[in-house]
């Protein structure tokens, strides 16, 4: 199953899907994941055993450092296999045999952590009845803290932990929702589960509660690897009891990782038993929660308020210095730091998009339009828009909001922004837009001597010409597209070659070979210089440029602000 399928079905099945949160769900809040802590435990054991300072192994993201540490761990008899399900509990107990020391370590790991957007979003789902039960193996109190603010009370969320497991049973019997069950306790609890022996058997009463609810609800698992046997065994028991997870079993994991064998086996067994069970790829817990909130129909006021205040999920990082240091990966995504939030809406008797385009052609005006079931949406001077649609009995002439969630797929609004952005770029920058493919920005031979072309000409010269042995013109170009990622729009610029239309099919092979040869040797350094050249053309030498599609000051114009610095990777820590 892909994420979009889950997002479509969740509003239909909520609140009959429980949630199980692991350490990964708290990563954005500053809480280390189990994977990160495992490597800290290993490093502590290795450095203390070999009398090596921790600073010698400071970079746990370095594969050479990890290889050296893992080599030592593998040499110790009885050590679990790397990435095995026993690693967390085994190395935690080896590093800190005393329960008091383990509690101190956990307290230190949680100090300073504050709820992330995902915690507030889940708390909001609990408040509006779109979720009822959350299970967690985490020790933190992030969801409770978020719920206190969302509910404006400390009594809105029933919380049960291993210190008082009876609370969970009573809440289920009395249907007192929402309910949070902390399977391993929290860092204030006198009972913590974090070693092999402690994790091997789940508290009997909490296990009974999980089995009981599994017969009535589905389960979505986020940020949890399945490393401890207690929870996995309980879920397996629920499946073998039959008639469990009637609303499905969904296990989310990062795309670049593989699930543990026990998780693959669990999902396979559930599917074989008739459960709607799937492994779903997901980037972050915060992203999932935000997407769920944005797709709730007739969203309550609390949901709308949280989406409006949704924090930026991008983080700033300094650019790599021009010399020395480690490399970053540069992408071809230019940030769009400002984009239209409204457009014109016209309700009239006109038909579909083809008839709309025909009406524009007949009128002789030039505007950008798209067709939706709510009417024609457009950018351009009001006088021109009225002239086009007046013959079709205009019944409403108003504005239409461009909602963020409709820019996440090929919607009418996204197509309208495409056309308006290309028009705006061609209007302000010394380039032209291909008339038959408006999403192709092409070098303008008549203006290629301007200073804006200096970088591109130095990277890949000549910039235009005729294909040898033909009369066919070609020019450097970029194919542009808009993508909505991490809460903002990005302009994706893919360098390519524009070739004019030609009718002689015999030339097709030679044209393709010319384009292939011209693009074939554009390796990283050249590609980077070409991208710099297009940055000069699209944005200029300032940090950002503002472009507008019409610039008349009449009607609803499309105004964009494009940043010059493309997105790039940054060296991260261990997941």
What per-residue confidence (pLDDT) applies to 317?
55
Going by pLDDT thresholds of 50, 70 and 90, the confidence category of residue 36 is confident
Instruction: Determine which of 79-88, 175-184, 317-326 has the lowest per-residue pLDDT on average.
Output: 317-326
Does residue 159 surpass a pLDDT of 50?
A: yes
* Angle of the 382-389 helix axis to the 353-363 helix axis, nearest 10: 110
Taking residues 442-446, report their average pLDDT.
93
What per-residue confidence (pLDDT) applies to 571?
52
Q: Give the distance, in angstroms, between the CA of residue 356 and the centroid of all CA atoms in the same chain.
A: 35
What per-residue confidence (pLDDT) applies to 188?
41
Higher-confidence residue of 298 and 281: namely 281
CATH match for 3-30+114-308 among 1.10.260.30, 2.40.10.410, 3.40.50.1220, 3.40.50.12170 = 3.40.50.1220
Listed by start position, the domains of the chain span 3-30+114-308, 34-110, 338-407, 431-563
Does residue 313 surpass a pLDDT of 80?
A: no
3-state SS, one letter per residue, for 234-277 = HHHHHHHHCCCCCCCEEEEECCCCCCCHHHHHHHHHHHHCCCCE
Taking residues 536-556, report their average pLDDT.
89
pLDDT digits (tens, 9 = 90+) for 236-265: 999 998 889 999 999 999 876 788 889 999
Taking residues 431-441, report their average pLDDT.
77
What per-residue confidence (pLDDT) applies to 114?
87
E-assigned strand segments in 387-509:
396-401, 431-433, 440-443, 464-466, 473-485, 488-499
Q: How many whole angstroms separate alpha carbon 94 and alpha carbon 541?
A: 56
What per-residue confidence (pLDDT) applies to 395?
95
pLDDT digits (tens, 9 = 90+) for 347-361: 999 999 899 999 999
Is it true that 3-30+114-308 and 338-407 share their CATH fold? no
Going by pLDDT thresholds of 50, 70 and 90, the confidence category of residue 207 is confident
What per-residue confidence (pLDDT) applies to 404?
82
Q: Which of 28-37, 222-231, 540-549 has the highest mean pLDDT?
A: 540-549
Taking residues 259-276, report their average pLDDT.
93
Taking residues 363-375, report their average pLDDT.
92
Order of all β-strands in the sheet with 218-222:
158-161, 179-182, 133-136, 17-21, 218-222, 249-253, 277-281
Q: How many whole angstroms separate alpha carbon 482 and alpha carbon 335?
A: 10
Tokens encoding 62: 């370095």
Q: How many whole angstroms separate alpha carbon 133 and alpha carbon 175?
A: 11
CATH number of 338-407: 3.30.70
The pTM of this model reads 0.55
């Amino acid at each position: 199953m892909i994420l979009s399928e889950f997002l479509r079905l969740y509003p239909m099945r909520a609140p009959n899907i429980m949630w199980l949160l692991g350490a990964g769900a708290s990563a954005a809040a500053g809480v280390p994941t189990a994977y990160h802590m495992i490597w800290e435990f290993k490093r502590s054991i290795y450095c203390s055993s070999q009398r090596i300072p921790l600073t010698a192994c400071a970079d746990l993201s370095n594969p050479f450092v990890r290889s050296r540490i893992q080599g030592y761990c593998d040499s110790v008899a009885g050590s679990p296999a790397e990435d095995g399900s026993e690693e967390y509990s085994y190395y935690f107990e080896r590093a800190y045999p005393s329960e008091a020391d383990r509690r101190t370590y956990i307290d230190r790991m949680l100090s300073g952590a504050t709820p992330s957007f995902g915690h507030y979003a889940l708390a909001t789902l609990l408040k509006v009845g779109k979720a009822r039960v959350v299970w967690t193996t985490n020790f933190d109190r992030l969801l409770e803290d978020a719920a206190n603010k969302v509910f404006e009370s400390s009594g809105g969320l029933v919380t049960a932990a291993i210190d008082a497991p009876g609370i969970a049973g009573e809440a289920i019997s009395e249907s007192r929702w929402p309910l949070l069950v902390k399977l391993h306790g929290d860092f204030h609890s006198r009972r913590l589960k974090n070693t092999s022996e402690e994790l091997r058997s789940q508290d009997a009463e909490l296990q009974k509660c999980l089995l009981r609810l599994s017969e009535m609800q589905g389960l979505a698992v986020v940020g949890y690897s399945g490393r401890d046997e207690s929870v996995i065994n309980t879920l397996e028991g629920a499946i073998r009891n039959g008639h469990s997870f009637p609303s499905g079993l969904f296990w989310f994991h990062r795309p670049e990782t593989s699930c543990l064998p026990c998780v693959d086996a669990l999902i396979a067994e559930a599917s074989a038993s008739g459960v709607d069970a799937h492994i779903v790829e997901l980037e972050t817990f915060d992203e999932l929660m935000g997407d769920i909130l944005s797709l709730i129909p007739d969203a309550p006021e609390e949901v709308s308020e949280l989406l409006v205040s949704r924090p930026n999920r991008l983080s700033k990082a300094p650019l790599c210095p021009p010399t020395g240091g480690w490399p970053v990966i540069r992408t071809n995504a230019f940030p769009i730091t400002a984009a239209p939030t409204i457009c014109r809406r016209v309700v009239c008797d006109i038909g579909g998009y083809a008839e709309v385009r025909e009406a524009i052609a007949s009128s002789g005006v030039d505007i950008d339009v798209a067709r939706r079931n709510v009417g024609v949406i457009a950018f351009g001077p009001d006088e021109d828009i009225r002239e086009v649609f007046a013959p079709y009995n205009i019944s409403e002439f108003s504005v239409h909001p461009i909602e963020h969630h409709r820019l996440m797929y090929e919607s009418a609004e996204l197509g309208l922004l495409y056309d308006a952005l290309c028009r705006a770029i061609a209007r302000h920058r010394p380039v032209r837009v291909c008339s038959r493919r408006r999403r192709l920005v092409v070098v303008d031979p008549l203006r290629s001597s301007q200073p804006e072309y200096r970088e591109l000409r130095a990277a890949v010269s000549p910039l235009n010409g005729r294909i040898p042995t033909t009369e066919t013109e070609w020019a450097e170009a970029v194919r542009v597209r808009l993508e909505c990622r991490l809460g903002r729009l990005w302009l994706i610029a893919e360098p390519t070659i524009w070739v004019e239309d030609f009718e002689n099919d015999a030339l097709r092979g030679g044209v393709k070979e010319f384009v292939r040869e011209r693009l074939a040797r554009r390796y990283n350094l050249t590609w980077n210089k070409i991208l710099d050249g297009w940055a000069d053309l699209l944005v200029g030498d300032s940090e950002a440029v503002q472009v507008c599609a019409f610039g008349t000051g009449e009607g609803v114009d499309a105004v964009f602000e494009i940043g010059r610095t493309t997105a790039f990777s940054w060296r991260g820590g261990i997941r």
